[in-house]
Amino acid sequence: MINHIQIRNFAIVDQLELLLSSGMTVLTGETGAGKSILFDALNLALGGRAESGIIRHGTNRAEITVNFDLSRSPSVKQWMIDNALDDNNDCLIRRIATTDGRSKGFINGQAVPMQSLRELGEQLVDIQGQHAHQSLLKQDMQRQALDDFAGHQRLHLETKQHYQRLKILREQQTLLKQSKNERASRIELLSYQTQELEDLCLKENEFAALEEEHSRLAHLTQIEEGCKHALFTLTDAEEQSVTQQLNSVMQQLDVLQQFDINLQAISQMLNESLIQTQEASNELRHYLGDLDMNPKRMNEVDERLGLIHDLSRKHRINPKELTTLYNELTKELASLLQANDQSDSLDAKITEAEKNYFACAKKLSISRQSAAKRLQQKVTANLQQLGMKTGQFNVTLHLQEDISINGLERVEFLVTMNPGQPLKPLNKVASGGELSRISLAIQVIIAATGRIPTLLFDEVDVGIGGGTAEIVGRMLRDLSRERQVICVTHQPQVAALGHQHLQVNKLASKNTTKAHVNILNESQRADEIARMLGGIEITEQTLSHAKEMINRSQSEPV
């Protein structure tokens, strides 16, 4: 609900600050005093268009600040949390419009786009009588109102959940169908490529081993000749061999050791070298003995390497990466083949999800049909109490071609004011006053389940009087037990039923015109209602009647 509103330099208001209470607040004043300025200011604060001329003449900017208490609005609090704008139960909205056409909006001190202000405003305030903010003109809100009245929130939630499950499955199915031909072509290519790699049967590290072997086979003659020469030099060159020369040096050192013991270490090192040389010679003989000079092996290695290089060039990768490629292609092929199996499984899941959705949605439709009959009877009765004796209200459920998250049908509120005239949608009702009273008739019924905490009625009692006006007032007062109600009224019967009374006055001087809003005390309130009853000249009898009306209204609880 609205706790506090501050208006600066807006239209003919220079500065206005009001503390509003719960229950029913009425605004009264002379014709042309500017009673709708408060509503216009709220409309601007909640994201409405900043029309030219709204800024008070002689100033460069208008500013509207509105404070809301969200303690009884959990859905709005959640919206604030979701948008990182929450501040416990407080919501402070501020809107600034300047003469250069710029406009800024703030929620709890944070700058926000106008769309955010509008989204929040639609959850906080419903302005009846001004089409820009009449929520019940929107079919989605009509559906929501019917569902709230029916009290089948759990059934509605289950329908939503089944719909979301079905939607996800159908999206998966669409993707599978869209890629079916591409998938078939890809499977064919992958099957051929993996078969080629399987036929190659390349072992891990085989390519490196083959390259090494190829290099050895290509230089086999050179290797054999070099090894034989080395063996000859080491042992077979008689006195010129390495072993013979090492033996000769060691013999000389053996003689010299008797003169210098330090030569023993050197002699030991040469002895070890001789042993290593002899072992190397033996290994070299074994190597030459095992050396395979088979020319066929060279052809086999050449052919194998050729196959590997051909396949690597085909895939444009290094031959060493063929094994990795085979693993990747095999994995992709298995995934695509599995996708074909998933398609069959998905069809079964969709069939089951459709069954669950329709079963739940049909129950929701039956509940809506029952609630629609009750709601239209109650609203029609209220319309006739509000002076529209021949008014008829109808709730129509239109079966949709496509299923939706909200069920199988579209909800539409229809009304007719005259016998024999066709029912028309609410937004086709010509009279603003009639539309306001129709909205009031609906709101009174759904008040206990309504989601919007503050309702503003702009001259809902236009064109009525007497007993009907009192019925309008009592309906507004009844409505205020559940929600905050603020209404502009010309009827004393309505004004007397308010819990808070605001009087709007327009003061004009030679150069300026200003609007003031005063919160009336009991004495002032009686004077204002007496004025509304009797005109300019207020008699004692009129004043007594006004006090009686106020006293009678106070006997009813909020």
Distance of CA 37 to the CA centre of its chain: 36
Q: Are 499 and 464 in contact (CB under 8 A)?
A: no
Whether the per-residue pLDDT at 542 is higher than 80: the answer is yes
pLDDT for position 555 = 67
Is the pLDDT at 363 greater than 60, yes or no? yes
Our separate counts of H helices and E strands in the chain read 17, 15
Among the residue ranges 30-34, 154-158, 324-328, 490-494, the one predicted with the least confidence is 30-34
% of the chain residues with pLDDT over 70: 94
User: Average pLDDT, stretch 406-427?
Assistant: 90
Q: How many CB atoms lie within 10 A of CB 437?
A: 30
Residue 536 confidence (pLDDT): 66
- Span 329-347, average pLDDT: 79
Judged against a pLDDT cut of 90, whether residue 364 lies above it is answered with yes
- Global pTM value: 0.61
pLDDT in tens, 449-461: 777 899 888 877 7
* pLDDT of 133 above 60: no
CB 325 within 8 A of CB 315: yes
- pLDDT of the residue at 209: 81
Residue 101 has pLDDT above 80, yes or no: yes
Please report which helix (H) or strand (E) contains residue 127, including its range.
strand 125-128
Is the pLDDT at 539 greater than 90? The verdict is no
Q: Which residue has the higher pLDDT, 83 or 244?
A: 83
Spatial distance between the Cα atoms of 143 and 7, rounded to a whole number of angstroms: 35
Residue 336: per-residue pLDDT: 78
So what's the pLDDT on residue 93? 96
Kindly state the tokens that stand for 224: 């054999």
In percent, the amount of the chain with pLDDT more than 90 equals 34
Q: In what order do the strands lie in the sheet with 454-458?
A: 125-128, 454-458, 484-488, 24-29, 500-508, 513-519
CB 448: neighbour CB atoms within 10 A?
Answer: 12
What pLDDT shows up at residue 132?
Answer: 43
What is the model's pLDDT at position 311? 86
Domain positions in the chain are 183-335
Q: What is the mean pLDDT of residues 314-320?
A: 87
Structure confidence by residue, pLDDT tens digits, 221-264: 787 778 778 888 888 776 678 888 888 888 888 888 888 888 88
Is the confidence at residue 134, as pLDDT, over 70? no
261-285 mean pLDDT: 86
